[in-house]
Chains A and B, each alone.
Chain A
Amino acid sequence: MDDPLVIAGTELSSRLILGTGGAPSMRVIDEAVGASGTAMCTVAMRRLDATTNGSIVEVLDRHGVRILPNTAGCRTAREAVLTAELAREALGTDWVKLEVIADERTLLPDPVELLDAAQLLVAKGFHVLPYTNDDPVLSRRLQQAGCVAVMPLGSPIGSGLGIQNPHNIELIVAEAAVPVVLDAGIGTASDAALAMELGCAAVLLASAVTRAQRPDQMAAAMAGAVTAGRLARTAGRIPRRTHAEASSPIEGMAVL
């Protein structure tokens, strides 16, 4: 079934976006990217460290995936804008995963700085994909600011707690005019499938794969879950009922 993800007019062949953080080695990333079938991976921008072995960009280029730089670790709109500008220069892309966090303990987005940064970056010509709280109102405001997607969290980054407020994700999806990407909190395949069943256009995850005992196997599981969840969503599920409804015919029963 030809059902590509489209963000800002660009088709992506997979609805699974893979973050590359948390992997113990470049080889693990390499294998996970291959097994996931992803078409887009995130990277962070950090000070050059001559002791780092291998280049993440080289690995991702070899897989032919789109690179989505993030602004991870930024606390203010000013820092995030500068980091996005550096990423644009470094990677030649005006797409950015905008992350502006409030504190290290929760890694929750700071909504005020996030919206401010989104407005500034859109004005500078960026295609902004904001990592946001699971807040329907903030998602609306980010879209009004011109973001090309909204990426609500399921639960805190790296927690593996899955989707803690599915109702809010449904509300965000119901009124979104741009793709909704479930970002953060995915722990296992059923979480990713649920995100898609709730109507998300894609799932972005990192730790669930990179920190799994068998990352490439989990990457394949996530790919299957995203596909299954998308199919189930578009197939139209049966309504939930309080009581049973027999699937075998009621008429024609033998009198025994």
Chain B
Amino acid sequence: MKVVVNGATREVDQQTLGELLDVILTDTRGSAAAVDGEVVPRAGWAGFALHEGQSVEILTAVQGG
């Protein structure tokens, strides 16, 4: 299915947010995810089913004042 990850449309095989993040993140400390503008708590990643056209934002802590 196609989902939008951080603004770029991507064809993904993964069925859940947890599976997608396993592929994208090397370390989950410092990172968080939102789908269609709603924060998905870490504990809910594994059970969160992805659907065609959803917008996934993956954020991480960076240098900042």
Would you call A152 an interface residue if the criterion is a C-beta within 8 Å of the partner chain's C-beta atoms?
no
Cβ of A47: which chain B residues have Cβ within 8 Å of it? 6-7, 57-60
Would you call B51 an interface residue if the criterion is a C-beta within 8 Å of the partner chain's C-beta atoms?
no
Contact between A21 and B65, CB atoms less than 8 A apart: yes
A22 to B62 alpha-carbon distance, docked (Å): 11
Residue of B nearest to A55 (CB): B30
Which residues on A are within 8 Å of B, measured CB to CB? 19-23, 26, 29, 42-49, 52, 55-57, 61, 67, 69-70, 72, 82-83, 85-91, 157-158, 184, 204, 206-207
Would you call B25 an interface residue if the criterion is a C-beta within 8 Å of the partner chain's C-beta atoms?
yes
Contact between B6 and A56, CB atoms less than 8 A apart: no
Cβ of A91: which chain B residues have Cβ within 8 Å of it? 29-30, 61
Cβ of B24: which chain A residues have Cβ within 8 Å of it? 48
Cβ of B39: which chain A residues have Cβ within 8 Å of it? 82, 85-86, 89
Contact between B34 and A43, CB atoms less than 8 A apart: no
Q: Smallest Cβ distance from B47 to chain A, in angstroms?
A: 15
If A48-B59, A82-B39 touch, whether A90 touches B65 (CB-CB below 8 Å) is no
Q: Smallest Cβ distance from B18 to chain A, in angstroms?
A: 14
Contact between B65 and A57, CB atoms less than 8 A apart: no
Interface size, chain B (Cβ < 8 Å): 24
Among candidates A21, A61, A85, A86, residue contacting B63 with C-beta atoms closer than 8 Å: A21
Q: Lowest 6 A-B CB distances belong to which pairs?
A: A44-B64, A19-B65, A206-B65, A21-B65, A57-B30, A90-B32
A204 to B63 alpha-carbon distance, docked (Å): 15
Contact between A42 and B25, CB atoms less than 8 A apart: no
Contact between A21 and B59, CB atoms less than 8 A apart: no
Residue of A nearest to B31 (CB): A90
Contacting residues of chain B (16-65) with chain A, CB-CB under 8 angstroms = 24-25, 27, 29-34, 37, 39, 41-42, 57-65
Cβ of A184: which chain B residues have Cβ within 8 Å of it? 65
Residue of B nearest to A25 (CB): B63
Contact between B64 and A43, CB atoms less than 8 A apart: yes
If A47-B6, A48-B6, A57-B30 touch, whether A29 touches B63 (CB-CB below 8 Å) is yes
Cβ of B42: which chain A residues have Cβ within 8 Å of it? 89
A88 to B34 alpha-carbon distance, docked (Å): 12
Residue of B nearest to A44 (CB): B64
Q: Smallest Cβ distance from B20 to chain A, in angstroms?
A: 12
